Amino acid sequence: MKAVFFSGGTGTPKLLLGVREILSDRELAIITNPGDDLEWNGLLVCPDLDTVLYLFSDKLDLTKFWGLKDETFNALATLKSLDAEMPWFNIGDKDLGLHVWRTYQLRNGNTLTEVTIKLLEAWNIKSVIVPPTNGTLRTKIILDNNEKIGFQEFWVKNKGLLEIKDVIFEAKDAIISTEAKRILEMDCPIIIGPSNPVSSIGPILAVDPIRKILQSKRESVFAVSPFIGQQAFSGPAAKMMKAKGFEPSSAGLAAMYSDIIGTLVIHTKDSSQIPEIKKEGVSVISTDTYLSTQKQRVKLATLILKKSGVLENR
Protein backbone atom coordinates (compact mmCIF):
# COMPACT_ATOMS: atom_id res chain seq x y z
CA MET A 1 0.00 0.00 0.00
CA LYS A 2 1.37 3.43 -0.96
CA ALA A 3 -1.21 5.90 0.35
CA VAL A 4 -4.36 6.04 2.47
CA PHE A 5 -7.05 8.62 1.77
CA PHE A 6 -9.94 9.88 3.91
CA SER A 7 -12.83 10.68 1.60
CA GLY A 8 -16.16 12.44 1.66
CA GLY A 9 -18.49 12.87 -1.27
CA THR A 10 -17.22 15.28 -3.95
CA GLY A 11 -13.81 16.97 -3.43
CA THR A 12 -11.77 13.91 -2.49
CA PRO A 13 -13.25 11.69 -5.24
CA LYS A 14 -12.13 14.37 -7.73
CA LEU A 15 -8.60 14.21 -6.33
CA LEU A 16 -8.73 10.40 -6.42
CA LEU A 17 -9.47 10.58 -10.16
CA GLY A 18 -6.06 12.23 -10.46
CA VAL A 19 -4.36 9.81 -8.06
CA ARG A 20 -5.60 6.84 -10.13
CA GLU A 21 -3.59 8.07 -13.11
CA ILE A 22 -0.39 7.95 -11.04
CA LEU A 23 -0.71 4.97 -8.68
CA SER A 24 -2.32 1.63 -9.40
CA ASP A 25 -5.56 0.90 -7.56
CA ARG A 26 -3.77 -1.89 -5.64
CA GLU A 27 -1.60 0.77 -4.02
CA LEU A 28 -4.53 2.71 -2.53
CA ALA A 29 -6.75 2.41 0.51
CA ILE A 30 -9.69 4.73 1.11
CA ILE A 31 -11.63 5.20 4.34
CA THR A 32 -14.99 6.82 3.68
CA ASN A 33 -17.32 9.09 5.63
CA PRO A 34 -20.10 7.23 7.50
CA GLY A 35 -21.83 10.44 8.67
CA ASP A 36 -24.08 10.91 5.61
CA ASP A 37 -25.46 7.35 5.77
CA LEU A 38 -29.22 7.01 6.11
CA GLU A 39 -32.08 4.55 6.30
CA TRP A 40 -34.25 5.11 3.21
CA ASN A 41 -37.47 3.13 2.93
CA GLY A 42 -35.96 0.38 5.06
CA LEU A 43 -32.66 0.24 3.14
CA LEU A 44 -29.22 1.37 4.27
CA VAL A 45 -27.75 3.96 1.89
CA CYS A 46 -24.08 4.96 2.32
CA PRO A 47 -23.64 7.90 -0.10
CA ASP A 48 -19.95 8.67 0.38
CA LEU A 49 -18.86 5.02 0.50
CA ASP A 50 -20.92 4.35 -2.63
CA THR A 51 -19.50 7.35 -4.51
CA VAL A 52 -15.99 5.97 -4.04
CA LEU A 53 -17.08 2.41 -4.91
CA TYR A 54 -18.76 3.66 -8.09
CA LEU A 55 -15.71 5.76 -8.93
CA PHE A 56 -13.32 2.80 -8.64
CA SER A 57 -15.60 0.54 -10.67
CA ASP A 58 -15.90 3.26 -13.34
CA LYS A 59 -19.66 3.55 -12.83
CA LEU A 60 -19.85 6.97 -11.19
CA ASP A 61 -21.84 9.78 -12.79
CA LEU A 62 -18.99 12.27 -13.21
CA THR A 63 -21.34 15.19 -13.86
CA LYS A 64 -22.91 15.07 -10.37
CA PHE A 65 -20.24 13.08 -8.51
CA TRP A 66 -22.93 10.89 -6.91
CA GLY A 67 -25.05 8.05 -8.28
CA LEU A 68 -24.42 6.05 -11.44
CA LYS A 69 -23.94 6.89 -15.11
CA ASP A 70 -27.02 6.46 -17.33
CA GLU A 71 -29.29 6.08 -14.31
CA THR A 72 -33.10 5.86 -14.45
CA PHE A 73 -35.60 6.54 -11.66
CA ASN A 74 -38.54 4.19 -12.31
CA ALA A 75 -38.55 2.58 -8.86
CA LEU A 76 -38.54 6.06 -7.30
CA ALA A 77 -41.57 7.04 -9.38
CA THR A 78 -43.41 3.98 -8.03
CA LEU A 79 -42.39 4.87 -4.47
CA LYS A 80 -43.53 8.47 -4.95
CA SER A 81 -46.95 7.28 -6.17
CA LEU A 82 -47.21 5.27 -2.94
CA ASP A 83 -46.38 8.13 -0.58
CA ALA A 84 -43.03 6.55 0.38
CA GLU A 85 -40.53 7.84 2.91
CA MET A 86 -38.03 10.56 1.81
CA PRO A 87 -39.21 10.88 -1.81
CA TRP A 88 -36.87 13.88 -2.16
CA PHE A 89 -33.81 11.61 -1.94
CA ASN A 90 -33.25 10.50 -5.53
CA ILE A 91 -32.23 6.87 -5.46
CA GLY A 92 -31.89 5.57 -9.01
CA ASP A 93 -32.81 2.10 -10.25
CA LYS A 94 -29.24 0.82 -10.58
CA ASP A 95 -28.25 2.34 -7.24
CA LEU A 96 -31.28 0.73 -5.61
CA GLY A 97 -29.93 -2.73 -6.46
CA LEU A 98 -26.86 -2.11 -4.28
CA HIS A 99 -28.95 -0.92 -1.32
CA VAL A 100 -31.29 -3.94 -1.52
CA TRP A 101 -28.34 -6.36 -1.65
CA ARG A 102 -26.36 -4.63 1.10
CA THR A 103 -29.32 -4.35 3.47
CA TYR A 104 -30.11 -8.05 3.00
CA GLN A 105 -26.46 -8.99 3.63
CA LEU A 106 -26.44 -6.93 6.83
CA ARG A 107 -29.71 -8.46 7.94
CA ASN A 108 -28.09 -11.89 7.49
CA GLY A 109 -25.43 -11.01 10.05
CA ASN A 110 -22.57 -9.65 7.95
CA THR A 111 -20.80 -6.47 9.06
CA LEU A 112 -20.70 -3.40 6.79
CA THR A 113 -16.97 -4.02 6.25
CA GLU A 114 -17.58 -7.66 5.25
CA VAL A 115 -20.31 -6.63 2.84
CA THR A 116 -18.12 -3.89 1.35
CA ILE A 117 -15.21 -6.31 0.86
CA LYS A 118 -17.56 -8.78 -0.88
CA LEU A 119 -18.55 -5.95 -3.17
CA LEU A 120 -14.90 -5.03 -3.91
CA GLU A 121 -14.37 -8.63 -4.99
CA ALA A 122 -17.57 -8.84 -7.02
CA TRP A 123 -16.81 -5.62 -8.90
CA ASN A 124 -13.09 -6.39 -9.28
CA ILE A 125 -12.03 -3.25 -7.40
CA LYS A 126 -8.35 -3.57 -6.46
CA SER A 127 -8.19 -0.73 -3.92
CA VAL A 128 -9.26 -1.29 -0.33
CA ILE A 129 -12.34 0.91 0.21
CA VAL A 130 -13.99 0.58 3.61
CA PRO A 131 -16.01 2.52 6.17
CA PRO A 132 -14.11 3.32 9.38
CA THR A 133 -16.50 1.41 11.63
CA ASN A 134 -19.10 -1.35 11.61
CA GLY A 135 -21.17 0.67 14.04
CA THR A 136 -23.13 3.77 13.10
CA LEU A 137 -22.04 7.39 13.33
CA ARG A 138 -24.52 9.80 11.77
CA THR A 139 -24.18 13.54 11.31
CA LYS A 140 -27.10 15.54 12.73
CA ILE A 141 -27.68 19.23 12.16
CA ILE A 142 -29.05 21.36 14.99
CA LEU A 143 -31.01 24.25 13.52
CA ASP A 144 -31.47 27.71 15.03
CA ASN A 145 -34.82 26.63 16.52
CA ASN A 146 -33.04 23.62 18.14
CA GLU A 147 -34.71 21.17 15.75
CA LYS A 148 -32.41 18.23 14.94
CA ILE A 149 -32.36 16.89 11.38
CA GLY A 150 -30.26 14.36 9.46
CA PHE A 151 -27.50 15.46 7.07
CA GLN A 152 -29.42 14.53 3.91
CA GLU A 153 -32.55 16.29 5.15
CA PHE A 154 -30.44 19.43 5.60
CA TRP A 155 -28.46 19.10 2.38
CA VAL A 156 -30.85 17.57 -0.15
CA LYS A 157 -34.39 18.26 1.14
CA ASN A 158 -33.63 21.80 2.32
CA LYS A 159 -30.81 22.50 -0.19
CA GLY A 160 -28.38 23.43 2.60
CA LEU A 161 -30.22 26.73 3.12
CA LEU A 162 -31.23 26.48 6.78
CA GLU A 163 -29.25 28.28 9.48
CA ILE A 164 -27.13 25.95 11.60
CA LYS A 165 -26.57 26.21 15.34
CA ASP A 166 -24.45 23.07 15.70
CA VAL A 167 -23.37 19.85 14.04
CA ILE A 168 -23.27 16.72 16.19
CA PHE A 169 -22.66 13.02 15.67
CA GLU A 170 -24.97 10.30 16.93
CA ALA A 171 -22.90 7.19 17.46
CA LYS A 172 -23.72 3.58 18.24
CA ASP A 173 -20.86 1.07 18.60
CA ALA A 174 -18.71 3.47 16.54
CA ILE A 175 -15.34 1.90 17.22
CA ILE A 176 -12.73 1.34 14.54
CA SER A 177 -13.08 -1.82 12.46
CA THR A 178 -10.19 -4.30 12.32
CA GLU A 179 -9.73 -3.50 8.63
CA ALA A 180 -9.62 0.29 9.11
CA LYS A 181 -7.15 -0.19 11.99
CA ARG A 182 -4.93 -2.38 9.80
CA ILE A 183 -4.95 0.28 7.08
CA LEU A 184 -4.11 3.14 9.45
CA GLU A 185 -1.24 1.23 11.02
CA MET A 186 0.49 0.76 7.65
CA ASP A 187 3.71 2.62 7.00
CA CYS A 188 2.42 5.06 4.39
CA PRO A 189 1.08 8.61 4.32
CA ILE A 190 -2.51 9.40 5.20
CA ILE A 191 -4.06 12.06 2.99
CA ILE A 192 -7.19 13.84 4.18
CA GLY A 193 -8.86 14.96 0.96
CA PRO A 194 -10.55 18.31 0.29
CA SER A 195 -13.88 17.24 1.76
CA ASN A 196 -16.06 19.07 4.28
CA PRO A 197 -13.93 19.06 7.49
CA VAL A 198 -16.99 18.97 9.76
CA SER A 199 -19.51 16.66 8.09
CA SER A 200 -17.25 14.49 5.87
CA ILE A 201 -13.93 14.17 7.67
CA GLY A 202 -15.28 14.90 11.17
CA PRO A 203 -17.25 11.64 11.37
CA ILE A 204 -14.20 9.56 10.37
CA LEU A 205 -12.08 11.30 13.02
CA ALA A 206 -14.84 10.76 15.60
CA VAL A 207 -14.55 6.98 15.29
CA ASP A 208 -12.53 5.89 18.30
CA PRO A 209 -9.44 5.86 18.24
CA ILE A 210 -8.84 7.26 14.73
CA ARG A 211 -7.97 10.76 15.91
CA LYS A 212 -5.43 9.28 18.36
CA ILE A 213 -3.85 7.14 15.64
CA LEU A 214 -3.39 10.20 13.43
CA GLN A 215 -1.94 12.19 16.35
CA SER A 216 0.67 9.47 16.78
CA LYS A 217 1.78 9.70 13.12
CA ARG A 218 1.05 13.40 12.56
CA GLU A 219 4.13 14.03 10.40
CA SER A 220 2.89 11.58 7.77
CA VAL A 221 -0.62 13.04 7.70
CA PHE A 222 -1.41 15.54 4.91
CA ALA A 223 -4.63 17.45 4.35
CA VAL A 224 -5.89 19.33 1.33
CA SER A 225 -7.93 22.43 2.15
CA PRO A 226 -11.36 22.69 0.53
CA PHE A 227 -11.31 26.48 1.10
CA ILE A 228 -10.26 29.46 -0.97
CA GLY A 229 -10.58 32.64 1.06
CA GLN A 230 -13.66 32.25 3.26
CA GLN A 231 -15.48 29.98 0.80
CA ALA A 232 -15.46 26.21 0.31
CA PHE A 233 -15.25 24.85 -3.27
CA SER A 234 -18.70 23.32 -2.78
CA GLY A 235 -21.16 22.28 -0.11
CA PRO A 236 -21.95 23.66 3.34
CA ALA A 237 -18.43 23.53 4.83
CA ALA A 238 -18.19 27.28 5.57
CA LYS A 239 -21.48 27.33 7.49
CA MET A 240 -20.49 24.24 9.48
CA MET A 241 -17.01 25.52 10.35
CA LYS A 242 -18.59 28.67 11.80
CA ALA A 243 -21.08 26.58 13.79
CA LYS A 244 -18.10 24.71 15.26
CA GLY A 245 -16.32 27.95 16.19
CA PHE A 246 -13.65 27.84 13.47
CA GLU A 247 -12.95 30.39 10.76
CA PRO A 248 -14.09 28.97 7.39
CA SER A 249 -10.66 29.19 5.76
CA SER A 250 -7.43 27.26 5.35
CA ALA A 251 -6.11 28.92 8.53
CA GLY A 252 -9.28 27.86 10.38
CA LEU A 253 -8.77 24.34 9.05
CA ALA A 254 -5.16 24.31 10.26
CA ALA A 255 -6.44 25.19 13.73
CA MET A 256 -9.05 22.42 13.55
CA TYR A 257 -6.57 19.77 12.31
CA SER A 258 -3.46 21.06 14.17
CA ASP A 259 -3.14 17.94 16.36
CA ILE A 260 -3.44 15.46 13.49
CA ILE A 261 -1.68 16.88 10.39
CA GLY A 262 1.91 17.75 9.64
CA THR A 263 1.21 19.48 6.33
CA LEU A 264 -1.69 21.41 4.81
CA VAL A 265 -2.09 21.96 1.07
CA ILE A 266 -3.68 25.34 0.32
CA HIS A 267 -4.41 27.47 -2.74
CA THR A 268 -1.75 30.05 -3.68
CA LYS A 269 -4.46 32.73 -3.38
CA ASP A 270 -4.39 32.04 0.38
CA SER A 271 -0.63 32.54 0.77
CA SER A 272 -1.26 35.44 3.18
CA GLN A 273 -2.57 32.82 5.65
CA ILE A 274 0.73 30.90 5.71
CA PRO A 275 2.11 32.57 8.88
CA GLU A 276 -1.14 31.83 10.75
CA ILE A 277 -1.07 28.19 9.60
CA LYS A 278 2.58 27.80 10.58
CA LYS A 279 1.75 29.13 14.06
CA GLU A 280 -0.30 25.95 14.46
CA GLY A 281 2.89 23.94 13.85
CA VAL A 282 1.61 22.87 10.43
CA SER A 283 3.79 23.01 7.27
CA VAL A 284 2.26 24.45 4.12
CA ILE A 285 2.27 23.54 0.44
CA SER A 286 0.72 26.28 -1.65
CA THR A 287 -0.43 25.46 -5.18
CA ASP A 288 -3.47 25.40 -7.48
CA THR A 289 -6.06 23.33 -5.59
CA TYR A 290 -8.92 23.61 -8.13
CA LEU A 291 -10.06 20.16 -9.22
CA SER A 292 -12.41 20.97 -12.09
CA THR A 293 -10.33 19.43 -14.88
CA GLN A 294 -8.51 16.10 -15.05
CA LYS A 295 -5.28 17.99 -15.74
CA GLN A 296 -5.66 19.91 -12.44
CA ARG A 297 -6.48 16.67 -10.56
CA VAL A 298 -3.40 14.84 -11.86
CA LYS A 299 -1.18 17.86 -11.19
CA LEU A 300 -2.34 18.24 -7.58
CA ALA A 301 -2.19 14.47 -6.97
CA THR A 302 1.37 14.32 -8.34
CA LEU A 303 2.51 17.16 -6.09
CA ILE A 304 0.96 15.63 -2.95
CA LEU A 305 2.35 12.17 -3.70
CA LYS A 306 5.81 13.67 -4.28
CA LYS A 307 5.76 15.80 -1.12
CA SER A 308 4.52 12.87 0.95
CA GLY A 309 7.39 10.70 -0.32
CA VAL A 310 5.20 8.24 -2.23
CA LEU A 311 6.73 9.12 -5.60
CA GLU A 312 10.29 9.48 -4.28
CA ASN A 313 11.74 6.56 -6.15
CA ARG A 314 9.80 6.89 -9.39
Task: Give dist(CA 10, CA 14) in Å, integer.
Answer: 6
Task: Tell me how far, at minimum, the Cβ of 214 lies from ligand FO1, in Å.
Answer: 21
Nearest CB to ligand FO1, comparing residues 10 and 308: 10
Q: Which stretch binds ligand FO1 (CB under 6 A): 72-80, 83-91, 184-192, 305-313?
A: 83-91
Sign of CA dihedral 109, 136, 208, 188: positive
Does the protein bind ligand FO1 through residue 66 (CB under 6 A)?
Answer: yes
Which one of residues 8, 135, 197, 226 is an interface residue with ligand FO1 (CB under 6 A)? 8
With beta carbons less than 8 A apart as the criterion, state whether 230 and 188 touch. Answer: no
Cβ(147)–Cβ(170) under 8 Å? no
Maximal CA-CA distance, the chain: 59
DSSP single-letter state for residue 124: T
Applying CB under 6 A, what is the total number of residues that bind ligand FO1? 17
Q: Which is nearer to ligand FO1, 89 or 290 (CB)?
A: 89
For ligand FO1, give the closer residue by CB, 116 or 152.
152
Q: Considering only CA atoms, which of 243, 246, 235 is closest in space to residue 143?
A: 243
Q: How far is the CB of 302 from ligand FO1 (least distance, A)?
A: 25
Q: Give the shortest CB-188-to-ligand FO1 separation in angstroms.
A: 25
Phi, psi of 44 (to 5 degrees): -85, 125
State how far the Cα of 273 lies from the Cα of 279, in Å rounded to an integer: 10
User: CB atoms < 10 A from the CB of 65, how many?
Assistant: 17
Q: Does 112 bind ligand FO1 (CB under 6 A)?
A: no
Nearer to ligand FO1, 66 or 233 (CB): 66
The reply on whether position 116 binds ligand FO1 by CB under 6 A is no
**Nearest distance from C-beta of residue 276 to ligand FO1, angstroms:** 28
Q: How far is the CB of 183 from ligand FO1 (least distance, A)?
A: 21
- Residue among 88 and 104 whose Cβ is closer to ligand FO1: 88
Q: How far apart, in whole angstroms, are the C-alpha atoms of residue 229 and residue 287?
A: 14
CB of 48 to ligand FO1, least distance (A): 5
Taking the least distance from each CB to ligand FO1, the nearer of 76 and 310 is: 76
Q: Which residue is nearest to ligand FO1 (CB)?
A: 9
List the one residue from 27, 87, 89, 306 that touches ligand FO1 (CB under 6 A): 89
State the burial class of residue 157 (Cβ atoms within 10 Å of its Cβ: 0-12, 13-18, 19+). middle
Compute the C-alpha angle 209/211/217, nearest 5°. 105
Residue 234 touching ligand FO1 (CB under 6 A): no
Interaction residues for ligand FO1, span 23-62 (CB under 6 A) = 36, 45, 47-48, 50
Q: What are the backbone dihedrals phi and psi of residue 208, each rounded to the nearest 5 degrees, phi first?
A: -70, 130
Contact between 90 and ligand FO1 per CB under 6 A: yes
What is 145-187 written as a DSSP string?
A: TS-EEEHHIIIIISTT-S-EEEEEEEEES-BB-HHHHHHHTSS
Collapsing DSSP states into helix, strand and coil, what is residue 310? coil
| Chain contacts with ligand FO1 (rule: CB under 6 A) | 8-10, 36, 45, 47-48, 50, 66-67, 89-91, 95, 152, 155-156
